[in-house]
Chain A
Amino acid sequence: MRFSILASGSTGNSLYIETDEHAFLVDAGMSGKKIEGLLGSINRSMKQIDAIFVTHEHSDHIKGIGVLARKYKTPIYANAKTWQAMDGLVGEIPLDQRFHFDMETVKTFGTLDIQSFAVSHDAADPMFFTFNEADRKLAIITDTGYVSDRMKGHIQGADSFVFESNHDVSMLQMGRYPWSIKRRILSDVGHVSNEDAAVAMSEVVAEKDTHIYLAHLSLDNNMKDLARMSVAQTLESCGIRAGEFVHLCDTDAIESTELVMV
């Protein structure tokens, strides 16, 4: 199982994942053209994509869904409430391309098991996924106001994580956002801060080589260096030394990460 984070952040999110038999996208939150370009940067093409899994209906996750679905006849998977919420946001998607992926269920594509789980975000019915192939596991969890024990149970022990590390709390508090937006981000249905993410990480990493991709960084209230530093220090205060078996990796809002094995 290999994956690349094509883009991550409030300007658009998309993740590419492939096995020897299949290839998928999780979300398509940029224009179709951008996604084609990002796939091209890792030598892949939209024609190879077997399905797109939608986490929730916010525009930074679905912007390119309609265009790509129509152009490439790609099947789209989302839960019922997300389909309902997407109505009118993604244009017409033919019925034979609309598939349901219910919350807390597993779908199998060849050797790959995909498990959906609920997150806490201000969308209709937001969910994220873990991908399991043989004994390897990739967990994706962004767009959540907090990481509950139930979520931790789902992502526990993954070999690679794509983990939200959205903001630094003091940068957000001092920053230029209006109070209503600050309150939304800090709420239980907002986004996870660097520190809170690190505390949750410390509870789900197993004692084995683990790669954690710090994802969905706020453009205004975070920086790659700061997120890495903050997560590393919080992990250390929880008894986990970054660099030993936990490796922190960057993601980018406009550039894809290298295609790597889980």
Chain B
Amino acid sequence: MDWNRTKTIFIIVFSILNIFLYFLYLDRQMGVGNMQVLGKSSVEETLQLENITYNPIPFIKKEVSYLSAHIATFSEDKLKELNDQSFVLIEKSRLLSYLKKSVSIKDEKNDYDFSGFLEKYVLEGDSYVLWDIDEEDQRAVFFQRVKNETIFYSPNAMLVVHWDDDEEITHYEQRMLDDFVSFNHKKDLLSPDDAVGSLVTRGYLKPDSTVIQVKSGYSTLVQLTETQVFAPTWNIQVKLKDGTIENYFINAIEGKVIEFQPDLLEEQTE
């Protein structure tokens, strides 16, 4: 046997094999690269294709943490601060209050204005922010805020104000959270662009709609017996072609879409 020839054949065969494997490797690497570009561009393409308007929001990378809070109980001392109203306290944490004086829900320009009412008649009224006005049912829903961020749809952090046909407040129901504590466990905050992208890729956004606002806040992650744990949450407001406003919520750490039960507000205002 000619060992020299065999050796040469082996060298040539393995050289060809190595070149082939190298090309295979390059091809795969380029494939991965292309897929990443495709992922990002597919969001932009979908936005363009479905005529969805979204202007990217500048974002500085930061770390956020989960938050815990206790369901507040209304102490007798606190309740003494309430003027011109009679109230019923249910399980120390749910306050139903009836106004003895007539308080209008509108200002001189006939616009809704609850600021005076919140300041004068509601305990820690300035920590609530208006979320929704239901003219048909004559009520307004307010969500509690913490660190200037809204707590979305937590039954224990809501204020619901009711009025009569004369547009004067008759009664309200209040629940409150306190003892807010940030967890030590910090994670990267998802960017608003990624949050919107998350909705797009899941097909939540309707054609011809416009993303009008992306706001940060908190939503319930876990409900324990005495405590609630909240996750940072993006609220994405979208205006549809017919002018209707839709709200979407995304867990701002995991990127998962949060769907609140639609009857939650109904239950709270019964």
Task: Tell me if B227 is interfacial: C-beta within 8 Å of chain A.
Answer: yes
Q: How many residues on chain B are close to A (CB under 8 Å)? A: 17
Q: Is the CB–CB distance between B184 and A171 below 8 Å? A: no
A-B contact pairs, 7 of them (CB 8 A): A174-B251, A225-B68, A226-B222, A230-B224, A233-B226, A236-B225, A237-B225
Complex Cα gap A220–B171 (Å): 43
A73: B residues at CB distance < 8 A? none
In chain B, positions 232-256 with a C-beta closer than 8 Å to chain A are 251, 254, 256
Task: Tell me if B169 is interfacial: C-beta within 8 Å of chain A.
Answer: no
Q: Is the CB–CB distance between B226 and A226 below 8 Å? A: no
In chain B, positions 99-149 with a C-beta closer than 8 Å to chain A are none
In chain B, positions 217-235 with a C-beta closer than 8 Å to chain A are 221-227, 229
Q: What range describes how many residues of A lie at the interface? A: 10 to 19
Task: Tell me if B62 is interfacial: C-beta within 8 Å of chain A.
Answer: no
For A136-174 the 0/1 string (1 means CB < 8 A from B) is: 000000000000000000000000000000001011001
Task: Tell me if B66 is interfacial: C-beta within 8 Å of chain A.
Answer: yes
Complex Cα gap A224–B251 (Å): 20
Task: Tell me if A261 is interfacial: C-beta within 8 Å of chain B.
Answer: no
Task: Tell me if A229 is interfacial: C-beta within 8 Å of chain B.
Answer: yes
Complex Cα gap A262–B225 (Å): 31
Q: Is the CB–CB distance between A225 and B225 below 8 Å? A: no
Q: Is the CB–CB distance between B183 and A226 below 8 Å? A: yes
Q: Is the CB–CB distance between B256 and A229 below 8 Å? A: no
Task: Tell me if B185 is interfacial: C-beta within 8 Å of chain A.
Answer: yes
Q: Is the CB–CB distance between B225 and A234 below 8 Å? A: yes
B222: A residues at CB distance < 8 A? 168, 170-171, 226, 230
In chain A, positions 222-262 with a C-beta closer than 8 Å to chain B are 223-226, 229-230, 233-234, 236-237
Complex Cα gap A168–B231 (Å): 14
- Chain A residue nearest to B225 in the complex (CB): A233
Q: Is the CB–CB distance between A224 and B185 below 8 Å? A: yes
Complex Cα gap A175–B254 (Å): 8
A174: B residues at CB distance < 8 A? 221, 251, 256
With A229-B68, A229-B227, A233-B227 in contact, is A224–B221 under 8 Å at CB?
A: no
Complex Cα gap A171–B256 (Å): 12
In chain A, positions 162-220 with a C-beta closer than 8 Å to chain B are 168, 170-171, 174-176
Complex Cα gap A67–B261 (Å): 53
B184: A residues at CB distance < 8 A? 224-225
- Chain B residue nearest to A174 in the complex (CB): B256
Complex Cα gap A251–B55 (Å): 45
What 9 A-B pairs are tightest by C-beta distance, nearest first?
A: A225-B183, A223-B185, A233-B225, A233-B224, A170-B222, A168-B222, A233-B226, A230-B224, A229-B227
The residue among A170, A175, A236 with the most chain B CB atoms within 10 A of its own CB is A170
Q: Is the CB–CB distance between B224 and A229 below 8 Å? A: yes
- Chain B residue nearest to A175 in the complex (CB): B254
Complex Cα gap A76–B24 (Å): 45
Complex Cα gap A225–B226 (Å): 14
Question: Least Cβ distance of A101 to chain B in Å?
Answer: 37
Q: Is the CB–CB distance between B254 and A176 below 8 Å? A: yes
Q: Is the CB–CB distance between B221 and A171 below 8 Å? A: yes
